[in-house]
A = this chain, B = another copy of it.
Amino acid sequence: MRIQIGIVGYGNLGRGVLAALRQNPDMQAAAVFTRRRPESLGLASQSLPVVPLTEAEKWKDKIDVMILCGGSATDLPVQTPALAQHFNVVDSFDTHAHIPAHFAAVDEACRQAGTVGIISVGWDPGLFSLNRLYAQAVLPQGKDYTFWGKGVSQGHSDAVRRIPGVKDARQYTIPVPKALERVRAGENPDLSARQKHTRVCFVVLQDGADAADVERKIKTMPNYFAEYDTTVHFISEAELNARHRSLAHGGFVLRSGVTGEGNKHLIEYRLKLDSNPEFTSSVLVAYARAAHRLLLEGARGCKTVFDVPPAYLSPRTGEDLRAALL
């Protein structure tokens, strides 16, 4: 019997989960749950039930794990604890400051219902977090560096779009090569935000908007752009749609540390992703397998990637893993 997966939400992430499940023969999409009109999802040809989210509870006995594909701002804080009352859940909650509160809410729901939740799954938070943990545990004396990009930051793009006169925008976060070099060389530099990343904005103006004013408002926006070297390009809507639709992303986690009488060590983890949402979905699917196994062995409550034994992500047996990958 394959592990039955419910997909909650059918945007980029939800589509990515459906694609990832096709690569994992021990798992199967059981249904997609949506707040939209089920017919509007374009899934009619796939013989996959599309169910109004309000009716999810009826699927309680048919779903092993729900993968939540909504956003961290308003969807997941409500949906993950609510669904955890009836289902094992996995989400990609990524609002860092609110993780403790989200964890507590999901943990309470899971413990009352006897379910397992795994939150904040993806690559950052997720695989990057794991690498920070492993590297710190192995090299307690050292320094961490995380670089993101090159890739579009949704949050920064949204911030530009909120400026009056802006019709549309994309913001790329780009690591500064020189900073990466210095970390790799073992210099252990102290790096400011400006020294680590540059920001490049492609902006479509509304008719009659003042380009110089928009550019000034972007470059002086605190927390988002003022602390960085920011470049602004004004382009047409046609060009934005033609040349800036890539979902590529990635980044680097490094730890530079010292052991003994000054021996230096560098641990570097790098991701280069054609599709940020499809990769995140692939991580979610692997952790859905882990959630199912944790439940079967008696675990309950909310977990993160830090709590999950690596072997639980794989469909292979312990014996097989030791022979093939150790």
Those of A238-267 within 8 Å (CB) of chain B: 259-261, 263-267
Q: Is the CB of A265 within 8 A of B269?
A: no
A309 interfacial by beta-carbon distance below 8 Å: yes
* Per-residue contact bits, chain A 101-128, to B (CB 8 Å; 1 contact, 0 not): 0010000000000000000100001010
Question: Interface of chain A, helix or strand or loop or mixed?
Answer: helix
Q: Is the CB of B133 within 8 A of A314?
A: yes
* CB-contact partner of A265 in B120, B264, B274, B311, under 8 A: B274
Residues of B within 8 A of A137 (CB): 286, 289, 310, 313-314
Q: Is the CB of B23 within 8 A of A313?
A: no
A139 interfacial by beta-carbon distance below 8 Å: yes
* CB-contact partner of A310 in B103, B283, B305, under 8 A: B305
Those of A28-58 within 8 Å (CB) of chain B: none
Q: Is the CB of B100 within 8 A of A323?
A: yes
A1 interfacial by beta-carbon distance below 8 Å: no
- Given the known interface contacts A259-B278, A275-B259, the answer about A134 and B313 at a Cβ–Cβ threshold of 8 Å is yes
A273 interfacial by beta-carbon distance below 8 Å: yes
Query: Could you tell me the distance between the alpha carbons of A259 and B281 in the complex, rounded to whole angstroms?
Result: 10
A322 interfacial by beta-carbon distance below 8 Å: yes
A226 interfacial by beta-carbon distance below 8 Å: no
CB distance from A247 to the nearest CB of B (A): 8
Residues of B within 8 A of A267 (CB): 127, 269-271
CB distance from A306 to the nearest CB of B (A): 4
A136 interfacial by beta-carbon distance below 8 Å: yes
A129 interfacial by beta-carbon distance below 8 Å: yes
Interface residues of A (CB under 8 A from B): 15-16, 19-20, 23-24, 96, 99-100, 103, 120, 125, 127, 129-134, 136-141, 184, 259-261, 263-275, 278-279, 281-283, 286, 289, 304-311, 313-314, 318-319, 321-323, 325-326
Can you list 20 A-B contacts (CB < 8 A)? Answer: A19-B259, A19-B261, A20-B259, A99-B323, A120-B326, A131-B269, A133-B321, A134-B313, A137-B310, A138-B313, A263-B274, A265-B271, A266-B272, A267-B271, A268-B268, A268-B272, A305-B326, A307-B311, A308-B309, A310-B310
10 closest cross-chain pairs (CB), A and B: A137-B313, A263-B274, A263-B275, A306-B311, A266-B272, A259-B278, A19-B260, A268-B270, A137-B286, A132-B325
